[in-house]
Amino acid sequence: MHQGQRGTEPATITNGYAQLAANVLARAKACGATEADIVVADGETFSVQVRVGTVDRLTKAREKRLGLRVFIGKRSATTSTSDFSQDSLERLIADTCTLARAVVEDDVSGLPDAAQMATDQPSLDLYDETVLDTETQIDWAKRGEAAAFAADPRITNSEGAEFDSSSGRVVLANSHGFVGSYKSSNFSLSVSPIATESTTGAMQRDAWYEVQRKFARLASAESIGQEAARRAVRRLGARKVATKRVPVVFDQEMAGSLLANLCGAISGYGLYKRASFLLDKLGQTIASDLMTVYDDGRMAGGLGSRPFDGEGLATRKNTIVERGVLQSYLLDTYSGRKLGLPSTGNASRSVGESPSVGPTNFYLVPGLKSAQEIIGSVKEGLYVTELIGFGINMVTGDYSRGASGFWIENGELAYPVEEITIAGNLKQMFKDIEVIGSDLVFRGRIASPTLKISELMVAGN
Partner 1 sequence: MLEPVQLAKFGVTELEAQHALDRLNVRDVDYADLYFESRTSESVSMEEGIVKRAAKSVSQGVGVRATAGEKTGFAYSDELTKKDLEIAADTARYIANSPQGASPVPVPTQRRPTRDLYPIERAKAEVATADRVALLNAIDAEARRYDPRIKNVMASFNTEYKVVVVATSDGTLVGDIQPLSRLQITCIAEDGDNRQVGSFGGGGRVGFEYYLEGNRHLSYAREAAREAILNLSAVDAPAGVMPVVLAGGWPGILLHEAIGHGLEADFNRKKTSAFSSLIGKRVASDVCTIVDDGTLPFRRGSLNMDDEGTPTSCTTLIEKGILRRYITDKLNARLMGIPLTGNGRRENYQSVVLPRMTNTFMLAGESDPQDMIRSVKKGLYAVSFGGGQVDITNGKFVFSASEAYLIEDGQITKPVKGATLIGSGPEVLTKVSMVGHDLKLDNGIGTCGKDGQSVPVGVGLPTIKIDEITVGGTQR
Please list every residue from 54 through 73 that binds partner 1, using CB under 8 A.
54-65
Measured from the CB atom, is 103 or 219 closer to partner 1? 103
Residue of 225, 367, 424, 437 that binds partner 1 (CB under 8 A): 424
The length of the chain is: 461
CB of 327 to partner 1, least distance (A): 23
Could you say which of 389, 409, 412, 415 contacts partner 1 (CB under 8 A)? 389
Q: Is 402 in the site for partner 1 (CB under 8 A)?
A: yes
Between the CA of residue 49 and those of 53, 59, 146, 161, 405, what are the distances in Å?
10, 9, 13, 6, 27
Judged by CB under 8 A, the chain residues 151 through 170 that form the site for partner 1 are 157-159
Q: Which residues pair with 35 in a beta bridge?
A: 71
Among 1, 11, 30, 103, binds partner 1 (CB under 8 A): 103
Among the listed residues 104, 115, 216, 368, the single contact to partner 1 using CB under 8 A:
104
Chain centroid offset of residue 276 CA? 20
Q: How far is the CB of 165 from partner 1 (least distance, A)?
A: 15
Closest CA to 188 of 20, 367, 49, 392: 49
**Is residue 137 part of the contact set for partner 1 (CB under 8 A)?**
no
Question: Cβ of residue 191: shortest distance to partner 1, in angstroms?
Answer: 14
Binding residues for partner 1, rule CB under 8 A, total 79
By CB under 8 A, tell whether 198 contacts partner 1.
no
Smallest distance, partner 1 to C-beta of residue 87, A:
12
Task: For residues 324 and 317, give the distance between their C-alpha atoms in angstroms, rounded to a whole number.
Answer: 18
Q: Which is nearer to partner 1, 49 or 318 (CB)?
A: 49
Q: Between 125 and 418, whose beta carbon lies closer to partner 1? A: 418
Binds partner 1 (CB under 8 A): choice among 51, 214, 281, 298: 51
Buried-exposed string 390-428: b where 16+ CB fall within 10 A, e elsewhere: eebebeebebbbbbbbbbbeebebeebbbebbbebbbbe
Q: Which of 351, 354, 350 is nearest to 65 (CA)?
A: 351
- Residue 428, amino acid: Q
Question: What's the rounded Cα separation, in Å, for the pair 212 and 122?
Answer: 19
Whichever of 106 and 373 has its CB closer to partner 1, that residue is: 106
Tell me which residues in 311-370 interact with partner 1 (CB under 8 A).
352-354
3-state helix, strand, coil in the chain (%, to 5): 25, 40, 35
By CB under 8 A, residue 189 contacts partner 1: no
